[in-house]
Amino acid sequence: MAFYKRKDGEEHPHWPLGPFQIRLPFIHYRLETPEIIQGIVLFAIGLTVIPLLENYVGFSYEAALAVATIYLLTMLIPPLMGVPFVPGFITAAIPLVIIFLGNFEPGPEAVRALIGLQLSVAVIFLLLGITGLGKMIVTKLPNSLKSGILIGAGIAAILGEIEAGGRLATTPISLIIGTLVCFYLMFSNSFQQLYNKGRIAKVIANFGIMPAIIVAIIIGWASREYQTPTIEWGFVIPNFPELWNYTPFVVGLPDLNIILLAIPTALIAYIIAYGDIVVGTSLLDRASEKRNDEKVPVSISNLHTLTFFRNFVHALFAPHPGLAGPIFTAGTASVMERYKYGRKAMDSIHSGTNSLLIAMFISTITLPLVTLFQPVLPIALSLTLILTGYLCISIGIDQVKTPAERGVAGVMAIVLFAYGAAHALIVGLILYFLIQKKSNDKQEDQSFDENIEKTG
């Protein structure tokens, strides 16, 4: 129960704070049991930042776990301030971040590079959000370049898992079965038919990628590809003194060369994140059509400001390759789907979003849950990246219609995977002006622009 009650057709109660809207549990909204249950499982996705930090940046496990704790804590900030979406990683950018970090030796050098990248992402969100240039950049970017970015990110995500030395070589059974279950539940026509007819399928689908991760974990334990966990009891005490050694106050700030190298990757991460905003806003629009009892305004400016703040905090105190993105699409879609069932099912979109995130954060500091998932974090990360790769390639291909567009996008994607963001942007722009410019159809970006316009 909550102290304040909403009248039908109005905004949910809140305390105004400048352009933001403060909402607290039990005062402004009730906790939603289904979202709490989901959060207890979905928190493991936040922990997947741990193997990334260990393998590519040189963090210790203790320091990486402290980063994951801070990451889940900062995820609470946007919904606390009135944003109706579930925030998360800029997932599709993770493969590109890994490519960027490959230019640096794990240790202080890679830490400085990661700090430089996350600072660049923070500044881009702040400047483009305040000026409104972000919308213009994304809408004016040719479809072939958008497609090249997405396809290149998708190739990098999938190949990183299946190439020699990847996790397919070491854990083939759990990874293959987990991937097949993931693809079936999320993309197959036959499961869609089950979803339309049966309640059980709807419940499974609402958990997004987590049913596939759970299946992969069970298979991994049964096949002994992963160690069975040693459960420890109590609460996680983050090792902040250890984490301090990986901050700019100890390793130093990145120099100008690192910042210049980071900017192309940061810009691409922003473009991907803006696409997530478009998707999230579209999900909310569809859900709101069935919920006339609540008015849910969305401020893109506030979303940019809060994303800047989260990235800035992480750059200074807890840098990580996932970056701080405005929307966790799977989590947001899950909340929106149940929100459609009416006020009895979910009182407010804010009660659903906040309940999910509160449960995720509490789970992150609950030692039995952390130690349960610790041995199998690699498989959760692998499935997340493979799913991301599939979606990036699918959406990227759908962006291009003409042979010229497909050619530019394909070459740019290959360069992006092989050499990184800076080279890919240069090659993409050169090919666009060389091949496409004179015959450019004025309708090229119309469909994408229409989606952007929905964000206001």
In the prediction, which pLDDT does 124 show? 94
What is the Cα–Cα distance from 172 to 157, expressed in whole angstroms?
A: 17
What is the Cα–Cα distance from 318 to 239, expressed in whole angstroms?
A: 12
| HEC readout, the chain | CCCCCCCCCECCCCEEECCEEECCECCCECCCHHHHHHHHHHHHHHHCHHHHHHHHHCCCHHHHHHHHHHHHHHHCHHHHCCCCCCCECCHHHHHHHHHHHCCCCCCHHHHHHHHHHHHHHHHHHHHHHHHCHHHHHHHHCCHHHHHHHHHHHHHHHHHHHHCCCCHHHHCHHHHHHHHHHHHHHHHCHHHHHHHHHCHHHHHHHHCCCHHHHHHHHHHHHHCCCCCCCCCCCCECCCCHHHHHCCCHHHHCCCCHHHHHHHHHHHHHHHHHHHHHHHHHHHHHHHHHCCCCCECCCCCHHHHHHHHHHHHHHHHHHCCCCCCCECCCHHHHHHHHHHHCCCCCCCCCHHHHHHHHHHHHHHHHCEHHHHHHHHHHHHHHHHHHHHHHHHHHHHHHHHHCCCHHHHHHHHHHHHHHHHHCHHHHHHHHHHHHHHHHHHHCCCCCCHHHHHHHHCCC
In the prediction, which pLDDT does 345 show? 83
Nearest residue to 92 via CA among 395, 434, 451, 453: 395
Q: Which residues neighbour 411 within 8 Å (Cβ) at sequence distance 6 or greater?
A: 148, 427, 428, 431
Q: Enumerate the β-bridge partners of residue 235.
A: 366
What is the Cα–Cα distance from 407 to 422, expressed in whole angstroms?
A: 19
In the prediction, which pLDDT does 415 show? 92
In the prediction, which pLDDT does 154 show? 86
The token pair at 188 is 């197959």
- Asked if residue 70 lies in contact with residue 318, where contact means CB atoms within 8 angstroms, the answer is yes
In the prediction, which pLDDT does 454 show? 45
Q: Enumerate the β-bridge partners of residue 294.
A: 10
What is the Cα–Cα distance from 316 to 296, expressed in whole angstroms?
A: 33
Nearest residue to 49 via CA among 104, 113, 114: 114
In the prediction, which pLDDT does 448 show? 42
Q: Enumerate the β-bridge partners of residue 366.
A: 235
Q: What is the pLDDT along the chain (456 residues), one digit of tens a residue?
A: 678 788 888 888 999 999 999 999 999 989 998 889 888 888 888 888 999 999 999 999 999 999 999 999 999 999 999 999 999 999 888 888 998 998 999 999 999 999 999 999 999 999 988 887 877 777 788 889 988 988 888 888 888 888 877 788 888 999 999 999 988 987 888 888 888 887 788 778 767 677 888 899 999 999 999 888 889 999 999 999 999 999 999 999 999 999 999 999 999 899 888 878 877 888 888 888 888 898 998 888 899 999 999 999 999 999 999 999 998 877 888 788 788 888 888 889 999 999 999 999 999 999 999 999 888 888 888 888 888 788 888 888 888 888 999 999 999 999 988 888 888 889 999 999 988 876 444 444 444 444 444 444
The token pair at 437 is 């410019």
Nearest residue to 372 via CA among 252, 228, 188: 228
In the prediction, which pLDDT does 438 show? 66
